[in-house]
Structure 1
Amino acid sequence: MTHGISTYAYFWRISARAPRPMTLTEMFTDTARLGGRVFQICDYTPIESYDAAQLADVRATARDLGLELELGTRGVRPEHLRTYLDMAAELGVTFVRSMLNTVDHRPTPDEAVALLKETVPAYAAAGVTLGLETYEQVSTDDLLTVVRGVDDEHLGVVLDPGNSVARLERPVDVVAATAPYTVNIHVKDFAFTRRDGWVGFTYAGCPLGEGLLDHDGMIAAVREARGERRVNQIVEHWLPWQDEGFEATARLEHQWTQHSINTLLRSK
């Protein structure tokens, strides 16, 4: 498995809270310096406005740094997925992550199957794999119903078991169910902590290896189910904003990313 970093590992450093948000080039450079081999441009809407020359520059920058690129978006409407397929061709991308729902579209499993059957053959013809992420808005059973319904090796699951906890699905169950269909993994750890006065819990991210994610078990399950198929591991975080402000938050975000990459390097 090849390891890399997502824009979500730079969540605060590219946000409106940053005095000067990081650019794609800066994220690429940081990823390469940290030891990442892949960069997933995920839910980064500015790239949708890039023209051919700008996309060519992005591709060249990643190539010069030795990075493979992936894309990430949301939704299953054919016109939107075709836009990302065209972008994938410009960037030399062979993997695109998506999610079933958008703000204005929540398809049923049957509707999602019908829509994806309009698009996935074009992805297959281009040699691009589309992955649908596990998350709380859609049950894992429904997600797998969609993947099985389309029945194409170029459509699979982006495994992120932490997302499904909010749906009261156990990470171990999500891993077991999706491992045979997994085409990409989002690596982030997570934990519950008691609120002040023991009034409920906060569910948030934590450094990899310090929370509830059984990373070794997850990787073993996917390897057993997928055999020699390449499945990239992409680092993300759920880092809460720090009370000390942006500099403290950005520093911790960087530390978590470095720690995650080092952990993945040791576990190869």
Structure 2
Amino acid sequence: MLGISTYAYLWRASDRVPEPWTLPQMLADAASLGAEVFEICDHAPLEGMDAAQLHELRSLADDLGLRLAVGTRGVRAAHLRRFLEIAEALGAGTVRSMVQPADTPVDVAREQLRAAMPAYAAAGVELALETYEQLPTTALVELVETVDSPALGITLDPGNAVAALERPADVVAATAAHVKNLHVKDFAFTREPGWVGFTFSGARLGEGLLDYAAMVAAVAPEERGIDQIIEHWLPWQGDAETTATAEHDWTVHSMDCLKSHLRRTHA
């Protein structure tokens, strides 16, 4: 299914705009754009919500025709248990997280995951660890394979690992068999003024370096029931109004691109 993340509302929900968007506003906007899934990812207030607040949020999503997914960081067993509770309360089938080696070395992460995964499997909730630069993709794949739980897999976001000098195509190839969640955002290099170095940042989908067609061919998200979640790395555009307008444009454009791709594959 096609979805949108809170990361597509990064600036509009921030304190850099006069009236930051609330979570209900984000859900309503995503539904209006045709999203089927909304991923509440790295949204700090979520962890502190009580049962009544989570029930209210789930009811809103149900009314809007949205299925929810959640995202956090870290793999400590107690933290993962809390997010399993949140996922179950929200009817979310996926929890995205990230291994943070500075906090949880891989050997410790392995044992923490082994302790947490039986409860995820029993609940029918999948934990998907994201590709990113702090953990080599080969180490992430090895971790998933050695824990060996049917509920454990990978959130593929090939642009994240570029900072570790990993090629996006290599990240896709290495992880495709284990992907349970797909983040869709484009990215590109631009030269700094004076040709002194580069900036690696976001791009409108289809205008950067992401080979989206090759990625979905390798992962087969539709055939495997894997959500495609739209995110952005949109740089601040100089002022709040221009940035908010660009953020909306990128989201609409990304959704249009994904829908067009699906139409072509079904033609």
TM-score tier (shorter):
over 0.9
The answer for unaligned runs of 5 or more in structure 2 is 263-267
User: 1:229 aligned to 210, 224, 227, which one?
Assistant: 224
1:171 equivalent to 2:168? Answer: yes
What is the CA–CA distance in structure 2 between the aligned matches of 1:215 and 1:88, rounded to whole Å?
29
Q: Does 1:124 align with 2:118?
A: no
The answer to whether the Cα contact below 8 Å between 2:156 and 2:172 also exists between their aligned partners in 1 is: yes
| Residue of structure 2 equivalent to 1:249 | 243
Q: Which residue of structure 1 aligns with residue 203 of structure 2?
A: 206
Alpha-carbon distance in structure 1 between the residues aligned to 2:235 and 2:127: 30
Is 1:54 matched with 2:48? no
Tell me the distance in 2 between the aligned counterparts of 1:184 and 1:93. Answer: 13
CA offsets per residue over residues 222-256 of structure 1, 9 Å max, x none? 11xx784211000000000012x011000000000
Q: Unpaired runs of 5+ in structure 1?
A: none
CA separation in 2, counterparts of 1:108 and 1:259?
A: 39
Letter in 1 for 2:6: T
Matched to 1:109, the amino acid is V
Aligned equivalents of 1:49 and 1:203: distance in 2?
34
Q: State the distance in 2 between where 1:48 and 1:221 align.
A: 34
What one-letter code is carried by the residue in structure 2 that aligns with 1:260? S
* TM-score with structure 1 setting the length: 0.96
Residue matched to 1:12: 11
Residue of structure 2 in register with 1:185 after alignment = 182
Structure 2 CA distance for aligned equivalents of residues 48 and 18 of structure 1: 24
AA partner of residue 112 (structure 2): L
Q: Could you tell me which amino acid in structure 2 is paired with residue 149 of structure 1?
A: T
Measure, in 2, the Cα distance between the counterparts of 1:151 and 1:254: 40
CA offsets 1:195-242 (integer angstroms, 9 cap, x no match): 11111111100100000000000000011xx78421100000000001
Match of 1:140 in 2: 137
Mapped contact 2:76–2:104 kept (Cα < 8 A): no
TM-score (structure 2 length as normaliser): 0.96
Equivalent position amino acid for 1:205 in 2: G
Question: 2:30 — aligned with what?
Answer: 31
TM-superposed deviation, 1:108: 2.5
Instruction: Give 3-state SS (helix, strand or coil) of 2:92's partner.
Output: coil
1:88, distance to aligned residue in structure 2 (A)? 0.9
**Partner SS state of residue 211, structure 1:** coil
What is the CA distance between 1:48 and its match in structure 2? Answer: 1.3
* Identity %, equivalent residues: 56
Q: Is the 8 A contact 1:5 1:39 kept in 2?
A: yes
Equivalence for 1:84 = 83
Distance 1:18 1:149 in 2: 45
Q: Which runs of 4+ in 1 moved over 4 A?
A: none
**Per the alignment, in what secondary structure is the counterpart of residue 183 of structure 1?**
strand
What SS does structure 2 have at the residue aligned with 1:202? strand
RMSD of aligned Cα (Å)? 1.1
Listed one character per residue, the Cα deviations across residues 84-113 of structure 1 (whole Å, up to 9, x for unaligned) are 0011111111100000018xx532322211
